[in-house]
Chain A
């Protein structure tokens, strides 16, 4: 299976902090890859570099075969990014928000309509889709945030904490949706600090702390090798801290 993403010895240094510290890993096409770690571990910085809006200090990365430092325009045609903090226009309806991003990806109008209807149905927002987003609950906003990222049916989706703030029922529905998305051959890079989310969805998990990849394998293999009943135990075993404490 081909690599969807290749990262080679990637560094990102800001003035007084190294956010990404020599990261190297390959993510295969059709894989759900969990990037696990506390806030500030470097997950979002890694996503920003891979999506072409942040220049690495050194190292290289290829997304869909394109070098992110010289071919970010092509990278952006392949990807969809669901940011950690919901970013949407409150004065637009949910449907208008989703369709706007279809236009920004340059999709044909008929496809935008078809795809937005499909996504609205999948996230269970049929009744509220034509209401102004300012009236939405926190969970509804998170779902719109996800649909806006996937309107272009991306080959590679970066989902940064996609279920934060969702009730258990919505979270479960979103997991099903992500799984279905993967089954259509897409690659998902899922950053999360929800242990159960990584265990449920990820084919492989990379545990990142202080910008460094400290473990990489399937959830099952990580638990077997490092001992423990879940990935939280694995994280404690590797760092001496709980993920939630470190947040």
Chain B
């Protein structure tokens, strides 16, 4: 191997990415656009607090029910949506328009009047029951809505002062701790790093098939350049591109509010995992170039390697883990999810194990790609 040749070929391949719009789009703009689109669609842009719509069927229409509804509205979290019919409310929950439906039965105001008249004589009260139905698909609504309804009811019955009755135990000055809130965008981000680099397969396969078709690989073979120089330069240029891709995704996601756990070690791990995945995809690209006769065929064939990585190992949820483990991108997404979202250490046994598996996987595919390509195409002579 010769450093001067490797450097020259690496620069040549980087210029290809920069000067050919299709490559520039696939390598840099596509991950950037995907990150921005997902960030806007699923992120917490605007910083608004979470709110829950509650359909309210007021069958009592008394002043007390009106005060109770005002109390619900005053929470700032529950958004009352007044309906005439309980069935209509159930339908609104089913359709996901609201998180809960609350029916205030006739006699609600009478119950409160009886209570106010005889606050200590329970036998004199007229008992009514509020009917509350909650969307079972939302665990958060299930825990938040009942307590806020109870709070609004307490205020209606006892007044605001009931929320802070005299007590021999007091809470000290609160220490402000920044809460960690994860959006759907945050959950998708680990997969974005995988997604960004898997298109290297297509780039590499196109480079080798095109250069073979145009006689450029043969022309290089007329010089003292060794095949190892060409393969090393191809890996180097894609690793450099990979660093740029990861940086672009990090930068764009940071601007959109992504604040991953894991600190500097987590960021370092992201680069390391992504670059191993790049190396693996260089290998896939070489295998594709071995099989494809033209660059057009290579573009199509590359999806044999790209699609499984995208579907099974990036940001698409609900894939059985055993199936996902077959693709290298899974190990990047899984490890980064553990570190960024679940707060696992970048040097935890699980992270290191996934790193090791990906390392071996990538090395095997990269070497296999070189062997298959070199054998099939006899890149460098003497040819038999």
Interface of A with B (CB < 8 Å)?
A: 48, 51-55, 68-69, 72-73, 76-77, 79-81, 83, 85, 87-89, 91-92, 96, 100-101, 103-106, 132, 148, 152
Contacts and interface: CB of A to CB of B under 8 A. Distances in A.
A105 B15 contact: no
Nearest to B221: A53
A28 to B, nearest CB: 22
Contact of B15 (A55, A72, A91, A101): A91
Interface of B: 2, 4-5, 7-9, 12, 15-16, 19-20, 214-216, 218-225, 380-384
Contact of B215 (A77, A80, A87, A105): A87
B224 A91 contact: no
A87 B216 contact: yes
A154 to B, nearest CB: 10
A209 B219 CA distance: 25
Contacts of A103: 4-5, 7-8
B219 A83 contact: yes
Nearest to A51: B222
11 contacts: A53-B382, A55-B381, A55-B383, A76-B222, A79-B222, A83-B215, A87-B218, A87-B219, A100-B9, A104-B5, A104-B225
B2 A91 contact: no
Contacts of A88: 216
Given A55-B381, A69-B382, A91 B16 contact: yes
A89 B210 CA distance: 10
Contacts of B381: 48, 52-55, 72
B374 to A, nearest CB: 14
B5 A132 contact: no
Given A72-B382, A103-B4, A92 B222 contact: no
A68 B382 CA distance: 9
A76 B215 contact: no
Contact of A55 (B9, B218, B225, B384): B384
A64 to B, nearest CB: 13
A101 B15 CA distance: 16
Nearest to A99: B8
B20 A91 contact: yes
A206 to B, nearest CB: 21
A85 B216 CA distance: 10
A106 B317 CA distance: 51
